[in-house]
């Protein structure tokens, strides 16, 4: 259950409020929240509601409190008009979402992704977003075809009247980088999920848009890069680590093609005044030779990433080599303990924490973060 921040009474004066707490579905309304049913259409007098309620459904959920019911977005997509709309004074807001029952869903607002692939019933996550047109437009959308895209609760808190995002590290990547849920206790982990532990939020917030199975072409073309480019600004960092899935023959991406997709994303981020940073993926847990030395430099199109960093004059985090040095220092058995059981590719939570530590140390060494 989401903790109560404050109580908002559903009157017309709430339109000008700087915070809302919504409990979705047709069940009992949790104390301190405003109840919103699927049939509640947006009205200017109320200041919130669904843009197209005919495309919404009330559904049950398996949690307790606000997580016991939800609404389902029957039509969806980042550009869909089937949104939940909230009138807000312009400014910077923190948005906390709790899903209903779903296997994998993403959250979009203002026409772009905000959170990628939340998994599990009543998953919780949050993001910061600038509001510049007096209204937040949000929906839960596709993370996996065939899933139910549901929303149980929403908390919106104004952080500032200035709609400028804090300095941010945006991350692109694949399953070794992505978020896993629950965020604070997941068995599997991605280093992007853990990076904020090593970066003070007073210096940089971390926005991780990595997703499992992703390739460079997909990250560029299917909405994740679009979301980053909407918000990224001078002084922000864009770290992109791809290549593992690009090398899979089913994705039909040559190393030369991979390099050009990556080059295009680097140049787009630089054109926004941000600092683009290339990272190479770590190797497999089993990449040890008979002398106990870990080496994975031949994996994942690493040579293309290293060459591109030099050609575009951008920083390189050669996590492939850095992690091999660390794995060699702790040995094969301890390295295997940092990966999912029976899996030599995907880090578990402890492994993701160590990889995030290595990334943060390299960022600091290169003067990219305080």
Angle between helices 255-271 and 224-231 (to 10 degrees): 20
206: alpha, beta or left? (left if phi > 0; alpha if psi -120 to 50) = beta
Separation of alpha carbons 236 and 275, rounded Å? 6
Helices (H), the chain: 191-194, 216-221, 224-231, 255-271, 302-312, 319-330, 332-336, 349-365
How many CB atoms within 10 Å of residue 14?
A: 16
DSSP-based three-state secondary structure for 160? strand
Burial 271-305 (b: 16+ CB within 10 A, else e): ebebbbbbbbbbbbbebbeeeeebbbeebbbbebb
Question: Catalytic residues, which ones?
Answer: 175, 343, 346
Q: 109-115: long-range contacts at Cβ-Cβ below 8 A with a sequence spacing of 24 or more?
A: 109/136, 109/137, 109/138, 109/139, 110/136, 110/137, 110/230, 111/78, 111/79, 111/137, 112/78, 112/223, 112/226, 112/227, 112/230, 113/78, 113/209, 113/223, 113/224, 113/226, 113/227, 114/138, 114/227, 115/179
């Amino acid at each position: 259950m989401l903790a109560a921040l404050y109580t908002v009474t559903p009157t017309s004066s709430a339109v000008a409020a700087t915070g809302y707490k919504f409990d979705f579905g047709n069940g009992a309304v949790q104390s301190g929240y405003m109840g919103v049913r699927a049939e509640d259409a947006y009205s200017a007098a109320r200041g919130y509601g669904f843009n197209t309620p005919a495309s919404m459904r009330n559904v049950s959920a398996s949690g307790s409190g606000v997580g016991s019911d939800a609404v389902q977005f029957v039509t969806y997509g980042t550009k869909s008009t089937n949104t939940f709309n909230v009138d807000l004074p312009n400014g910077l807001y923190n948005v906390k979402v709790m899903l209903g029952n779903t296997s994998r869903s993403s959250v979009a607002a203002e026409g772009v992704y905000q959170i990628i692939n939340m998994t599990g019933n009543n998953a919780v996550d949050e993001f910061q977003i600038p509001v510049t047109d007096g209204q937040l437009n949000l929906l839960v959308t596709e993370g996996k075809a065939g899933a139910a895209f549901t929303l149980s609760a929403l908390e919106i808190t104004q952080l500032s009247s200035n709609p400028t995002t804090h300095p941010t590290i945006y991350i692109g990547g694949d399953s070794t980088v992505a978020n896993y849920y629950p965020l604070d206790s997941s068995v599997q982990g991605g280093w992007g999920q853990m990076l904020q532990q090593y970066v003070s939020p007073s210096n940089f917030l971390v926005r991780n848009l990595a997703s499992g199975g992703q390739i460079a072409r997909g990250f560029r073309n299917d909405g994740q890069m679009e979301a980053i480019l909407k918000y990224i600004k001078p002084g922000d960092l864009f770290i992109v680590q791809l290549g593992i899935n690009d090398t899979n023959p089913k994705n039909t991406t040559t190393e030369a093609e991979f390099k050009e997709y990556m080059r295009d994303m680097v140049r787009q981020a630089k054109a926004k005044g941000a600092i683009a940073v290339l990272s190479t993926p770590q190797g497999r847990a089993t990449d040890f030779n008979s002398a106990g030395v870990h080496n994975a430099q031949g994996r994942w199109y690493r040579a293309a990433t290293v060459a591109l960093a030099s050609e575009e004059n951008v920083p390189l985090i050669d996590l492939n080599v850095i992690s091999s040095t660390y794995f060699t220092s702790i040995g094969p058995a301890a390295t295997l303990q940092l990966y999912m059981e029976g899996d030599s590719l995907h880090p578990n939570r402890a492994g993701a924490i160590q990889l995030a530590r290595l990334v943060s140390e390299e960022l600091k060494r290169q003067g990219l973060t305080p």
